Every structure is written in structure tokens, then in C-alpha cells.
């Protein structure tokens, strides 16, 4: 499953178990929810080494943001466009990581949930309550990274799942507001979406302005993320417009 016109990697989800020759490369997402698991250690080690993080908690904050922006991204976008919820709860997901970021996502069973009640509540249950929030708790317990900052990474990743799409920005903004209205964990307070006009094409797109920091600038790369809250909103908006 992918979003037309953009990179296949962010939204693409493979179906079924991996080939036997690749099985050792895939991490069961529900194992990542255990703070002492080897699988969570592997995920953190990949990020720590690739980005040159100086602290474990900074690596954890980056892991949280990039994980939320890739592993459950298809569920957010599919819901926004089709009002259906893909089952990307942790027990149904496998991931691969090699260096900075997530390189692959698989669903053991690629399926949508039955429509029982409001789908946005189903989405919050699958994506937040049964996946991203428990992962944030595990990262907090393993590295002592702040829970508010970790949840800021969740909000950023979920917003990126929509902002990176070429779909109608009016629709995407409505869907984002609907999602944060129902989402637990006070995600709405951790950042906001805004509109910018691409300098190159004049088209309007959504961008996300964070209110928490992932500390990526403390790595050996020493650069701020485009959405970094340490940069003024005006400067971020001008940068987003110029880059698009």
C-alpha cells in the first residue's frame, strides 16, 4: 500500500511473514514494547551508531519520531483517505532497521478492522494505545528519555504521515484535527500543523511545527531537524516553503 506521487517507503507495508532467508533481520514490534528486550536494544543501537548520538535518551527520542513517522504511517493515511483502519497494532507488525530510521514494515495479516463505531477511535486504539504509547513507555524505562518528549515524537511522526502526502491539504488538515481531538496523551498540545506555499510550484502543503525537541542536534551531525522547536516558527515556515 502506498501514496501515489511520493516515496514508496514511508507508506508501503509488506504482507505476510518475511522470506526464511530474511527472517532474522525482522523485529517483532510487540517485542519492542518490553524495555529490556534484545529487539529494543538492537533498534536503539542502530540509531545510536548511525547518527552518532552522545546519549541513550537522545537516541531514544529520535527512534520514537522516525518510528512513528514510518511504521504506523500507512494506518494514519489510509484512515484519512478511506475512513478505514489498517491493523498495524504491534502484535501484527514486523520491522527492519539498518542505521538511521526504519527500512521496512510488514503486517503479519494485512487487514482492515471491522467498522464498529467511530473509526477514529479504532485508529487511536490500534496506533496509539496498542503500539506507539507502549513503545514510548518502554523507551522511557530503558533510557530515561522524557515521556513528554517521547510523545512529542509520536505526534510529530503521526503528523508527518499526513503532511508528507500529496492528498488534498484541506482534507488532511481536517483529519489531523479529528485525530488529535480524540487522541489521548495530550498530543494536540505538542505541536500544530500549518500551511505553506511551495516556492517552486505555488502549491499549498501542510507542515508540522513541533513544540518538543528530539535532541538530534546533540548528535555528531549537529544539525537541527526542519521542525525543531528551537528554531522560530517563522523561520521554520520560510524554510519549509523554500524546500518544497
Q: What is the pLDDT of residues 19-72, one digit of tens each?
A: 999 999 999 999 999 999 999 999 998 888 877 777 888 889 999 999 999 999
pLDDT for res 51:
75
**What integer pLDDT is reported at residue 3 of this predicted model?**
40
Comparing 144 with 98, which gets the higher pLDDT?
A: 144
Q: Report pTM.
A: 0.92
Cα torsion angle, 147, 240, 54, 29, sign: positive
In the chain, what are the domains?
8-243 (1.10.510)
Per 3-state DSSP, the chain is made up of helix, strand and coil in percentages (nearest 5) of: 55, 15, 35
Q: Is the confidence at residue 8, as pLDDT, over 60?
A: no
For strand 14-15 and strand 102-107, is the pairing parallel, antiparallel, or unpaired? parallel
Q: What is the mean pLDDT of residues 104-126?
A: 90
Least confident of 5-9, 13-17, 157-161, 166-170: 5-9
Higher pLDDT pick, 224 / 104: 104
Give me the pLDDT at residue 5, please: 35
Residue 208, C-beta contacts closer than 8 angstroms, at least 6 positions apart: 156, 159, 160, 163, 191, 192, 193, 194, 227
- pLDDT tens across 11-31, in order? 999 999 999 999 999 999 999
pLDDT at 49: 81
| Strands of the 14-15 sheet, one edge to the other | 14-15, 102-107, 93-97, 27-28
What pLDDT is recorded for position 50?
Answer: 74
Amino acid at each position: 500500500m502506498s501514496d501515489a506521487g511520493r516515496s514508496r517507503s514511508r507508506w508501503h507495508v509488506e504482507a505476510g511473514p518475511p522470506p526464511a532467508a530474511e527472517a532474522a533481520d525482522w523485529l517483532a514490534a510487540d517485542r519492542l514494547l518490553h524495555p529490556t528486550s534484545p529487539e529494543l536494544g538492537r533498534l536503539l543501537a542502530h540509531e545510536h551508531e548511525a547518527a552518532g548520538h552522545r546519549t541513550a535518551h537522545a537516541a531514544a527520542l529520535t527512534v520514537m519520531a522516525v518510528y512513528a513517522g514510518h511504521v504506523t504511517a500507512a494506518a494514519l493515511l489510509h484512515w484519512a483517505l478511506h475512513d478505514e483502519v489498517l491493523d498495524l497494532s504491534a502484535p501484527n507488525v514486523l520491522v527492519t532497521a539498518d542505521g538511521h530510521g526504519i527500512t521496512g514494515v510488514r503486517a503479519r495479516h494485512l487487514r482492515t478492522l471491522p467498522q464498529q463505531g467511530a473509526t477514529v477511535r479504532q485508529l487511536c486504539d490500534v496506533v496509539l494505545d496498542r503500539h506507539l504509547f507502549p513503545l514510548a513507555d518502554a523507551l522511557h524505562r530503558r533510557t530515561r528519555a522524557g515521556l513528554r518528549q517521547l510523545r512529542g515524537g509520536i505526534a510529530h511522526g503521526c503528523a508527518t504521515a499526513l503532511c508528507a502526502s500529496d492528498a488534498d491539504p484541506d482534507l488532511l488538515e481536517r483529519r489531523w484535527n479529528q485525530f488529535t481531538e480524540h487522541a489521548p496523551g495530550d498530543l494536540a498540545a505538542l505541536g500544530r500543523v500549518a500551511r505553506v506555499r511551495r516556492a517552486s510550484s505555488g502549491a499549498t502543503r501542510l507542515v508540522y511545527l513541533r513544540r518538543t525537541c528530539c535532541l538530534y542536534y546533540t548528535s555528531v551531525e549537529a544539525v537541527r531537524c526542519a521542525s525543531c522547536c528551537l528554531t522560530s516558527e517563522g523561520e521554520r515556515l520560510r524554510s519549509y516553503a523554500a524546500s518544497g
